[in-house]
């Protein structure tokens, strides 16, 4: 069974939803390797008979598909390599199968026909005895580009089978290769993309719902386990949440892929039928997968974590896992199985899983996150214009990721908020120190991602230098901050000293890397490689590439490890140098002969494109004639010259002394490179063994980056430090909306009108005003001020007092179309009921025009009921914008007790008449109720026809 639901095309840019069911078979016993020998019939094919293995051991997902055990070689007439592809396609049902054939990745059969157009690659056929087979392919180096299209744009899972050379087979054998599944790429395990995407985490998230919970009515207080990880940074977290808080948690995490048990497929949870809020799942890539989490003990995953020393890692894991709930452990197990199945060829290196507590993070549901434009704008889903882009001043990848995480989940930990504020305050007041720190931070590379690359057996030698340089900078930062601690107050000083302790990374390892690796050469070869890559891209389709000679054998300076690293490398370099010296001598004497005696124009010892060592001589026809004579008659140093190739002005000659020396140099260079590769690997391993320390440095640098960036922002935007405490207050004096203010300053000369807000527990402000009068802006700016205050950032106002808010709710007219089968009013009611069910006395709710989606009278009654319920039951701080101010006031006055009435305050913004038809908005809030909405003026501004406006004015009277 393989189900694929595709979202309408128009929806794809914002929410790629793919629901895939990978297997419905029962688990099968493990089969390590499945050897298949093709029978006689195959020999008649155009390819030779071969024996191949589908390595189900390396990829247990295939075992679980349940086909491995019952697998029989199907139709015998296919050539072995194609039979392999066909069998893979059967094993990995629903996946796109890319098989490496030489220097190409290829798609075959119906998959070639289907996906070639999507990848914009040529589809062709190859004739075999059993008929024509469609195929399409692309060069290996284009894998990343095509994976992006298949995985990110189209939402497919891609199984990749790579080609390897058999160990025990000679080079001239036809069947010297075998193929093996090396990974399965999905949005959550797309490490190549993640390594490039420095600003964001690439989270894969598993949700473990209680067994059979969907067979009965949803209970909002049901406990659910979640686990999410970023394979590219090694971060992994678990949390237990109530069903009612699940979507908020997912909104905060923003996973690239959500993994669910295939048993849930039949419940169509994203339809909202079981629990309405789960329609939010439509925004994410969902993968349904068989979840055999009970089949493996948690201990069997210990190998996926690395803190350095194995015993210490195991011990810490044991302690940590004891603190997790059963649901968290189940989600963790599911996630770990999935990751190890999808990356069978990589050694995963996770840090110790962290448990996040719902009580430590402010809950922001997805509607609020969208309405406040935390990460992208409502209008065009663009990052530019969002709160994140407006406040981001970070200069390191880990700083940017921390900022993103904080914005999605501000802290509820007062101590932590205050300590962040102290650091921001220090940096704000000490601009020179902050500038110097940021100059250093700019030199820091993405340490956790480089570390992960090393763990995966990837990463260039240059990244070792980047790692060492970044760690060296981290030590400098530590020293620099320490130097400046006398300027700090006692509390800040001890806090800072504790923080920067982690920056003290082992100096010896840094020094060794910088001492023994040739940075200059690595940078040079990186530049050459980049140019080559560019040339490859440019020349891909150019036929008749250049022919001629390769460069001369590399010189000593092109090696990347200092020969003094160890005796073995030293000896190899000595030997290489001796042979090199002989080459220099030979070159001199032959130059003497060809240029000095025979009058050639140029002479060089070269290695030709085909690998032959040869003398390259150019000259005039008469000189070359002499050279021809020499080659036919005499020898030099006891060896004859032979003409390999000639043209009117050049000669390629072979000469045994140079051939021998060339081979010796080549062999020695190879040995040196092998030894260098071992040394590079050993350095990588030394860093992997210090995974914990490297990650701590990365986190601390990211933390310092984020907080110093807040200081820069505070000075730039005139922000102040809010008073944050456990009180029930929300008091803001002269508050501003950062993004609206920014928009006004770039678009016009208009300035932002600052407004105050003064709420306490169970206080409610009703805001009225004309259309376009600034009601929504006011609501949002206060919510943003709360978020900024709780991430430790300073806030846009002249004074603020924020009692910690546990949950932020909004009902601000949604641009989402997730509930596509429900009416606008129904959606409005569902969203309002989430607030009424979820808001606590510590929450802040902003509600914009409740009840506008239905008839006037009923709308007012709903608005009133909501307002009263919030005051009496939720007792949260509430800002309530409406056009029905007068009507509401009337009902409140007649129905509410004095006590309740005192909790409600009415504020209004208005329009100032400038005479004639001219007017301007007065965005200043003042007590009172706005009597009219000035809708006709807005219609006029919007370009309504004059007759229509006149008609409206007459009706209004």
- Window of 56-64, 106-114, 774-782, 799-807 that interacts with ligand ATP by CB under 6 A: 774-782
* Nearer CB in complex with ligand ATP: 397/769: 769
Nearest distance, CB of residue 883 and ligand ATP, angstroms? 7
* Nearer CB in complex with ligand ATP: 459/796: 796
Q: What tokens appear for 643 in the block?
A: 């003409």
Give me the 517-546 binding string for ligand ATP, x by CB under 6 A, dash otherwise: ------------------------------
* Nearer CB in complex with ligand ATP: 337/783: 783
Nearest distance, CB of residue 843 and ligand ATP, angstroms? 22
Neighbours of 853 (CB within 10 A): 17
Nearest distance, CB of residue 891 and ligand ATP, angstroms? 21
Q: What tokens appear for 665 in the block?
A: 């140099």
Q: Is 772 in the site for ligand ATP (CB under 6 A)?
A: yes
Q: Is 752 in the site for ligand ATP (CB under 6 A)?
A: yes
Nearest distance, CB of residue 932 and ligand ATP, angstroms? 12
* Nearer CB in complex with ligand ATP: 378/865: 378
* Nearer CB in complex with ligand ATP: 189/832: 832
| Cβ atoms of residues 330 and 208 within 8 Å | yes
How many angstroms separate the CA atoms of 370 and 388, rounded?
12
Nearest distance, CB of residue 833 and ligand ATP, angstroms? 22
Q: Which of 775, 842, 877, 903 binds ligand ATP (CB under 6 A)?
A: 775
Nearest distance, CB of residue 875 and ligand ATP, angstroms? 26
How many angstroms separate the CA atoms of 465 and 463, rounded?
5
Query: Side by side, which strands form the sheet with 635-636?
Result: 549-550, 602-608, 613-618, 650-655, 639-646, 635-636
Nearest distance, CB of residue 933 and ligand ATP, angstroms? 7
Which residues inside 17-46 make contact with ligand ATP, applying CB under 6 A? none
Q: Is 740 in the site for ligand ATP (CB under 6 A)?
A: yes
Q: Is 406 in the site for ligand ATP (CB under 6 A)?
A: no
- Long-range contacts (CB closer than 8 Å, 24 or more residues apart) made by 480-485: 480/433, 480/436, 480/437, 480/440, 481/437, 484/430, 484/433
| Cβ atoms of residues 865 and 897 within 8 Å | no
Q: What tokens appear for 428 in the block?
A: 């704000």
Q: What tokens appear for 198 in the block?
A: 């420095």
- Window of 370-378, 631-639, 722-730, 750-758 that interacts with ligand ATP by CB under 6 A: 750-758
| Cβ atoms of residues 610 and 643 within 8 Å | no
DSSP H or E stretch at residue 552: none
Q: Is 735 in the site for ligand ATP (CB under 6 A)?
A: no
Q: Is 258 in the site for ligand ATP (CB under 6 A)?
A: no
C-alpha distance from residue 573 to each of 512, 563, 667, 683 (Å): 19, 6, 12, 20
Q: Is 619 in the site for ligand ATP (CB under 6 A)?
A: no
- Window of 248-256, 379-387, 633-641, 773-781 that interacts with ligand ATP by CB under 6 A: 773-781
Q: Which of 335, 419, 776, 814 binds ligand ATP (CB under 6 A)?
A: 776
| Cβ atoms of residues 346 and 183 within 8 Å | yes
Nearest distance, CB of residue 925 and ligand ATP, angstroms? 8
Nearest distance, CB of residue 952 and ligand ATP, angstroms? 16
Burial of 955 (0-12, 13-18, 19+ CB in 10 A): exposed
Nearest distance, CB of residue 936 and ligand ATP, angstroms? 13
How many angstroms separate the CA atoms of 385 and 387, rounded?
7
| Cβ atoms of residues 79 and 129 within 8 Å | no
Give the residue closest to ligand ATP by C-beta. 774
Which residues inside 550-589 make contact with ligand ATP, applying CB under 6 A? none
- Window of 557-565, 681-689, 768-776, 900-908 that interacts with ligand ATP by CB under 6 A: 768-776
* Nearer CB in complex with ligand ATP: 516/778: 778
Q: Residue 133: beta bridge partners? A: 126
Q: Is 769 in the site for ligand ATP (CB under 6 A)?
A: yes
Q: Which of 187, 773, 838, 910 binds ligand ATP (CB under 6 A)?
A: 773
Residue from 193, 184, 454 nearest 339 by CA: 184
Q: Is 228 in the site for ligand ATP (CB under 6 A)?
A: no
> How many residues belong to the site for ligand ATP (CB under 6 A)?
14
How many angstroms separate the CA atoms of 261 and 242, rounded?
18
Q: Is 923 in the site for ligand ATP (CB under 6 A)?
A: yes
Q: Is 95 in the site for ligand ATP (CB under 6 A)?
A: no
How many angstroms separate the CA atoms of 470 and 463, rounded?
10
Nearest distance, CB of residue 889 and ligand ATP, angstroms? 18
* Nearer CB in complex with ligand ATP: 188/770: 770
Q: Is 753 in the site for ligand ATP (CB under 6 A)?
A: yes
Q: Is 882 in the site for ligand ATP (CB under 6 A)?
A: no
Q: What tokens appear for 395 in the block?
A: 């200069």
HSE-CB at 163 with a 13 A cutoff on CA atoms is: 15
DSSP assignment letter at 300: G
Q: Is 777 in the site for ligand ATP (CB under 6 A)?
A: yes
The residues, ordered by sequence, that sit 6+ positions from 891 with a Cβ below 8 Å of its Cβ are 860, 864
* Nearer CB in complex with ligand ATP: 423/739: 739
Q: Is 768 in the site for ligand ATP (CB under 6 A)?
A: no
How many angstroms separate the CA atoms of 865 and 884, rounded?
13
Residue from 358, 350, 302, 303 nearest 325 by CA: 358
Q: What tokens appear for 874 in the block?
A: 């939720």
How many angstroms separate the CA atoms of 385 and 377, rounded?
6
3-class SS at 599? coil
* Nearer CB in complex with ligand ATP: 136/772: 772
- Window of 546-554, 612-620, 766-774, 798-806 that interacts with ligand ATP by CB under 6 A: 766-774
Nearest distance, CB of residue 923 and ligand ATP, angstroms? 3
| Cβ atoms of residues 225 and 208 within 8 Å | yes
Nearest distance, CB of residue 941 and ligand ATP, angstroms? 11
- Window of 323-331, 385-393, 606-614, 764-772 that interacts with ligand ATP by CB under 6 A: 764-772
* Nearer CB in complex with ligand ATP: 450/925: 925
Burial of 412 (0-12, 13-18, 19+ CB in 10 A): buried
Q: Is 798 in the site for ligand ATP (CB under 6 A)?
A: no
How many angstroms separate the CA atoms of 556 and 125, rounded?
49
| Cβ atoms of residues 250 and 267 within 8 Å | no
Nearest distance, CB of residue 950 and ligand ATP, angstroms? 22
Nearest distance, CB of residue 313 and ligand ATP, angstroms? 53
Residue from 816, 896, 893, 916 nearest 365 by CA: 816
Q: Residue 163: beta bridge partners? A: 179
Q: Is 774 in the site for ligand ATP (CB under 6 A)?
A: yes
Nearest distance, CB of residue 748 and ligand ATP, angstroms? 9
Q: Footprint of ligand ATP on this chain (CB under 6 A)?
A: 740, 744, 752-753, 755, 769, 771-777, 923
């Amino acid at each position: 069974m393989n189900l694929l639901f595709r979202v309408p095309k128009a929806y794809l840019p914002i929410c790629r939803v793919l629901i895939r069911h990978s297997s419905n078979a029962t688990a099968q016993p493990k089969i390590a390797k499945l050897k298949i020998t093709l029978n006689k019939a195959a020999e008649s094919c155009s390819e030779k008979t071969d024996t191949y293995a589908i390595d189900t051991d390396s990829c247990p997902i295939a075992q679980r598909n349940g086909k491995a055990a019952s697998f029989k070689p199907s139709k015998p007439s296919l050539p072995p390599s194609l039979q392999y592809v066909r069998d893979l396609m059967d094993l990995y049902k629903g996946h796109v199968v890319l098989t490496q054939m030489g220097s190409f990745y290829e798609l075959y059969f119906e998959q070639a026909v289907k996906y070639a157009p999507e990848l914009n690659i040529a589809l062709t056929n190859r004739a075999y005895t059993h008929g024509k087979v469609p195929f399409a392919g692309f060069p290996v180096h284009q894998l990343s580009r095509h994976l992006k299209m298949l995985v990110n744009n189209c939402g497919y899972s891609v199984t990749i089978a790579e080609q390897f050379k058999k160990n025990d087979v000679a080079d001239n054998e036809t069947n010297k290769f075998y193929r093996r599944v090396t990974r399965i790429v999905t949005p959550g395990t797309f490490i190549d993309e993640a390594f490039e995407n420095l600003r964001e985490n690439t989270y894969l998230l598993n949700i473990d719902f209680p067994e059979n919970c969907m067979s009965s009515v949803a209970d909002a207080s049901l406990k659910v386990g979640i686990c999410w990880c970023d394979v590219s940074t090694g971060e992994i977290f678990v949390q237990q949440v109530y069903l009612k808080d699940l979507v908020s948690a997912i909104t905060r995490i923003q996973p690239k892929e959500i993994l669910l048990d295939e048993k849930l497929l039949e419940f169509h949870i994203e339809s909202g039928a079981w629990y309405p809020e789960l329609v939010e799942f439509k925004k994410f890539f969902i993968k349904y997968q068989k979840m055999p989490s009970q089949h493996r003990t948690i201990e069997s995953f210990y190998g996926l974590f690395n803190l350095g020393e194995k015993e210490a890692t195991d011990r810490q894991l044991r302690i940590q896992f004891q603190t997790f709930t059963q649901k968290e452990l189940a989600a963790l197990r599911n996630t770990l199985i999935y990751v190890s199945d999808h990356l069978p060829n990589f050694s995963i290196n996770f840090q110790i899983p962290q448990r996040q507590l719902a009580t430590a993070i402010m809950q922001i549901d997805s509607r609020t996150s969208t309405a406040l434009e935390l990460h992208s704008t409502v209008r065009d889903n663009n990052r530019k214009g969002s709160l994140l882009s407006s406040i981001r001043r970070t200069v390191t990848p880990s700083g940017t990721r921390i900022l993103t995480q904080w914005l999605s989940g501000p802290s509820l930990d007062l101590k932590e908020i205050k300590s962040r504020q102290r650091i921001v305050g220090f940096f704000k007041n000490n601009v020179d120190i902050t500038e110097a720190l940021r100059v250093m931070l700019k030199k820091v590379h993405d340490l956790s991602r480089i570390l992960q690359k090393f763990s995966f057996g990837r990463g260039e030698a240059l990244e070792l230098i980047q790692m060492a340089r970044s760690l060296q900078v981290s030590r400098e930062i530590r020293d620099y901050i320490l130097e400046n601690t006398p300027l700090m107050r006692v509390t800040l000083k001890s806090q800072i000293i504790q923080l920067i302790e982690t920056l003290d990374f082992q100096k010896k390892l840094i020094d060794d890397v910088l001492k023994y690796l040739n940075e200059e050469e690595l940078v040079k070869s990186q530049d050459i490689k980049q140019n080559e890559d560019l040339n490859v891209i440019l020349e891909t389709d150019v036929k008749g590439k250049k022919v001629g000679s390769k460069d001369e054998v590399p010189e000593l300076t092109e090696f990347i490890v200092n020969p003094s690293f160890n005796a073995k490398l030293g000896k190899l370099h000595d030997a290489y140098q001796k042979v090199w010296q002989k080459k220099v001598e030979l070159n001199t004497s032959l130059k003497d002969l060809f240029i000095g005696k025979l009058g050639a124009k140029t002479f060089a010892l070269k290695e030709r494109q085909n690998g032959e060592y040869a003398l390259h001589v150019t000259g005039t026809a008469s000189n070359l004639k002499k050279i021809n004579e020499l080659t036919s008659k005499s020898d030099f140093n006891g060896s004859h010259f032979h003409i390999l190739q000639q043209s009117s002005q050049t000669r390629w000659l072979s000469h045994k002394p140079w051939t021998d020396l060339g081979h010796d140099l080549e062999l020695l260079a190879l040995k040196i490179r092998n030894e260098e590769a071992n040394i590079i690997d050993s350095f990588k391993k030394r860093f992997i063994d210090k995974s914990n320390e490297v990650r701590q440095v990365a986190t601390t640098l990211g933390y310092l980056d984020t907080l110093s960036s807040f200081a820069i922002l505070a000075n730039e935007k005139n922000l102040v430090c809010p008073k944050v405490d456990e009180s029930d207050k929300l008091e803001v004096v002269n508050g501003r909306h950062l993004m609206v203010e920014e928009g006004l300053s770039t678009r016009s000369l208009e300035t932002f009108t600052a407004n105050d807000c003064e709420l306490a527990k169970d206080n409610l402000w009703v805001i009225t005003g004309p259309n376009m009068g600034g009601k929504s802006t006011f609501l949002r700016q206060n919510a943003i001020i709360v978020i900024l205050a709780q991430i430790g950032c300073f806030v846009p106002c002249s004074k603020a007092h924020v009692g910690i808010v546990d949950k932020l709710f909004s009902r601000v007219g949604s641009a989402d179309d997730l509930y596509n089968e429900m009416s606008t009013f129904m959606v409005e009611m569902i969203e309002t009921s989430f607030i009424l069910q979820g808001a606590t006395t510590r929450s802040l709710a902003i509600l914009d025009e409740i009840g506008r989606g239905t008839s006037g009278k009923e709308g007012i009654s709903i608005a009133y009921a909501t307002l009263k319920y919030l005051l009496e039951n939720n007792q949260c701080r509430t800002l309530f914008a409406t056009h029905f101010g007068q009507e509401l006031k009337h009902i409140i006055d007649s129905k509410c007790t004095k006590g309740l009435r005192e909790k409600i305050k009415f504020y209004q913004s208005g329009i100032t008449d400038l005479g004639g038809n001219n007017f301007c908005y007065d965005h200043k809030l003042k007590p009172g109720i706005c009597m009219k909405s000035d809708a006709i003026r807005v219609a006029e501004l919007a370009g309504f026809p004059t007759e229509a406006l006149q008609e409206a004015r007459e009706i209004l009277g």
